[in-house]
């Protein structure tokens, strides 16, 4: 099927050999580089090594030049940075204009963005402006050193199959990549690179959106991405109070609680705790699945955990197919027993 696409697409005018290098969009918020950028730099280094090219980060903001060292330390050979008051906070039109111009000028072969709220907005806008394609929400990237085309894999049809997509005739090849899926880049303090300042200017009224006020979300929100131990609960908890029991185990292990979507839909817990295809993708050292059946959409968000421990009273629950350790039993008996043992040691 890929050959067929290549032969029939006669609209292509770009000379693909002009495009070189792997770019990572260095998303920052209030001067903090987002964790997904470090994962993308790790992935970019692997892709770049396969095709013998360099890794660059592209950074936008105000007073961001001091952040370039961190990007070099995490593996960027170059940082293209745009410094302008209009870029202080993310806005679609401003960021799209600056990065599109940089892409047209420097012609990267591959552009990777995190599948964050910002990346999911910026990626498609850039792809349209640059007349190329975008594969959204990738969970795996591989490159063929011969044809330099990335095999971009992402869940499709409600997570029921994994689709592998290539971008045959357009450049750059663009992907948004789910946070928490790729390995983080190694941090080498003092690693040097080249900082290249981008020219930025905006015409009057060119940016059509204005930030009037920033309102920060308050209340308890989950931080699952970096957790080493996740104690996740499903409908088997029976009621929202069941999460209190999971919190006891999480506190004992220094971890955090999480949830299946069914509990979120039932209003038992905030969506920020949801793991899975339409929630967060996690990769902890240990993932406890307590009273979770193991639907494919849930597995899509946790099956690359180092160890999975499932507690379920149904010995045929699909979660046991991916679990490293399975405990068949009532979680209200099993978890107190685990806590008792941990308190004893
Ligand atoms: P259930 O399937 O009801 O399972 C409850 C389990 O608890 C059962 O296995 C039962 O044996 C066990 N149990 C009951 N009582 C006990 C007890 N006392 N002790 C031990 N075990 C017990 N789901 C997600 O989680 N994340 C997603 O991101 C997600 N995205 C989706 C996207 C789409 C497009 C669709 C269609 C669905 C999505 N879902 C997602 C929903 C998913 O298909 C399942 O419906 C959901 O994961 C089921 O949640 P659960 O395992 O908590 O509940």
Secondary structure (DSSP) of 224-290: -TT-SEEEEE-GGG-STTHHHHHHHHHHHHT-EEEE-HHHHHTTSS-GGGBBSTTSB----SEEEEE
Dist CA 271 CA 260 (whole Å): 9
The number of residues in the chain equals: 345
pLDDT for 302: 93
pLDDT tens string 204-262: 888 988 889 888 776 666 678 878 999 999 999 999 999 999 999 999 999 999 999 99
Give the whole-number percent of the chain exceeding pLDDT 70. Answer: 94
pLDDT value at residue 7: 41
pLDDT at 278: 86
Residue 117 marked as a ligand binder: no
Ligand 1, residues at Cβ distance < 6 Å: 158, 234-236, 260-263, 274, 276-279, 291-293, 295, 297-298, 301, 311-314, 317, 330-332
Q: What is the pLDDT of residue 304?
A: 86
Atom 29 in ligand 1: residue holding the nearest Cα: 297
pLDDT at 218: 65
Closest CA relative to residue 5, chosen from 112, 131, 110, 133 = 133
In the predicted model, what is the mean pLDDT of residues 12-21?
78
247 C-alpha vs ligand 1 centroid, how far in Å? 19
Tokens of 335: 């978890």
Edge-to-edge strand list for the sheet holding 150-156:
140-143, 150-156, 161-165
Residue 335: name the closest of 225, 268, 238, 202 by CA: 238
Strand order of the β-sheet with 22-25 is 134-138, 173-177, 110-114, 22-25, 55-61, 78-83, 194-197
| pLDDT at residue 1 is higher than 50 | no
Is pLDDT larger for residue 223 or for residue 329?
Answer: 329
* Residue from 275, 276, 285, 281 nearest 306 by CA: 285
- Return phi, psi of residue 152, to 5°: -105, 115
Enumerate the β-bridge partners of residue 82.
Answer: 60
pLDDT in tens, 283-297: 899 999 999 999 999
Confidence of residue 17 (pLDDT cuts 50, 70, 90): confident
pLDDT recorded at residue 158 = 67
d(CA 181, CA 204): 41
Is 5 assigned a ligand-binding role in the annotation? no
**Whole-angstrom distance, CA of residue 308 vs CA of residue 324:** 5
Contacts of 290 (CB under 8 A, 6+ apart): 231, 232, 233, 234, 236, 237, 246, 311, 331, 335
The ipTM estimated for the assembled molecules is: 0.99
Question: Distance (Å, rounded) from C-alpha 8 to C-alpha 10?
Answer: 6
292 is in an annotated binding site: yes
Strand order of the β-sheet with 256-259 is 256-259, 229-233, 286-290, 307-312, 325-328
pTM greater than the 0.90 cutoff: no
Query: Mean pLDDT lowest for which of 85-94, 217-226, 298-307?
Result: 217-226
Please give the pLDDT value at position 173. Answer: 96
Collapse the DSSP code of 56 into the 3-class scheme (helix H, G, I; strand E, B; otherwise coil) and give the result. Answer: strand
User: 59 pLDDT band (50/70/90 cuts)?
Assistant: very high
Question: What CA–CA distance (Å, rounded) separates 340 from 83?
Answer: 55
Strands (E), the chain: 22-25, 28-29, 32-33, 55-61, 78-83, 110-114, 134-138, 140-143, 150-156, 161-165, 173-177, 194-197, 229-233, 256-259, 286-290, 307-312, 325-328
φ/ψ (deg, to 5) at 328: -90, 115
CA 218 to ligand 1 center in whole angstroms? 28
Q: Whose CA is closest to 155, among 1, 39, 319, 296?
A: 296
Residue 260 among known ligand-binding residues: yes
Strands 173-177 and 134-138: parallel
CA of 100 to the centre of ligand 1 (A): 42
pLDDT (average), residues 54-63: 97
What are the tens digits of pLDDT across the range 105-158? 999 999 999 999 999 999 999 999 999 999 999 999 999 999 899 999 998 876
d(CA 135, CA 155): 11
Mean pLDDT of the chain: 91
**φ, ψ dihedrals at 55, nearest 5°:** -110, 130
pLDDT at 181: 85
Residue 185 has pLDDT above 80, yes or no: yes
The lowest-confidence range among 161-165, 221-225, 283-287, 327-331 is: 221-225
* Mean pLDDT along residues 43-68: 96
Distance 278 CA to ligand 1 centre (A): 13
């Amino acid at each position: 099927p890929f050959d067929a696409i290549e032969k029939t697409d006669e609209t292509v005018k770009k000379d693909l050999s002009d495009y070189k290098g792997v770019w990572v969009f260095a998303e920052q918020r209030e001067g903090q580089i987002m964790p997904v950028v470090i994962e993308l730099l790790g992935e970019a280094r692997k892709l770049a090594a396969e095709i013998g090219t360099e890794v660059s980060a592209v950074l936008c903001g105000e007073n961001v030049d001091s952040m370039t060292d961190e990007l070099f330390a995490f593996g960027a050979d170059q940082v293209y940075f745009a410094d302008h008051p209009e870029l202080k906070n993310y806005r679609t039109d401003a960021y799209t204009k600056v990065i599109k111009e940089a892409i047209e000028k420097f012609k990267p072969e591959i552009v990777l963005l995190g599948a964050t709220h910002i990346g999911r907005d910026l990626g498609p806008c850039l792809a349209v402006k640059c007349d190329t394609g975008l594969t959204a929400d990738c969970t795996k990237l591989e490159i063929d050193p011969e044809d330099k085309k990335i095999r971009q894999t992402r869940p499709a049809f409600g997570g029921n199959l994994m689709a592998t997509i290539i971008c045959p005739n357009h450049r750059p090849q663009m992907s948004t990549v789910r946070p928490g899926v790729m390995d983080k880049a190694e941090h080498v303090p003092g690693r040097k690179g080249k900082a290249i300042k981008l020219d930025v200017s905006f015409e009057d009224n060119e940016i059509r959106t204005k930030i009037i006020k920033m309102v920060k979300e308050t209340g308890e929100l989950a931080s699952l991405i970096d957790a080493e131990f996740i104690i996740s609960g499903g409908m088997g908890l029976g009621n929202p109070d069941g999460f209190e029991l999971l919190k006891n185990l999480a506190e004992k292990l220094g971890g955090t609680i999480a949830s299946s979507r069914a509990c979120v839909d039932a209003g038992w817990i905030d969506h920020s705790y949801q793991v899975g295809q339409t929630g967060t993708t996690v990769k902890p050292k240990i993932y406890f699945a307590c009273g979770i059946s193991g639907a494919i959409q849930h597995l899509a968000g946790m099956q690359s955990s180092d160890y999975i421990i499932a507690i379920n009273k149904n010995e045929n629950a699909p979660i046991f197919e991916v679990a490293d350790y399975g405990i068949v039993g009532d979680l209200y008996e099993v978890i107190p027993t685990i806590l008792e043992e941990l308190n004893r040691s």
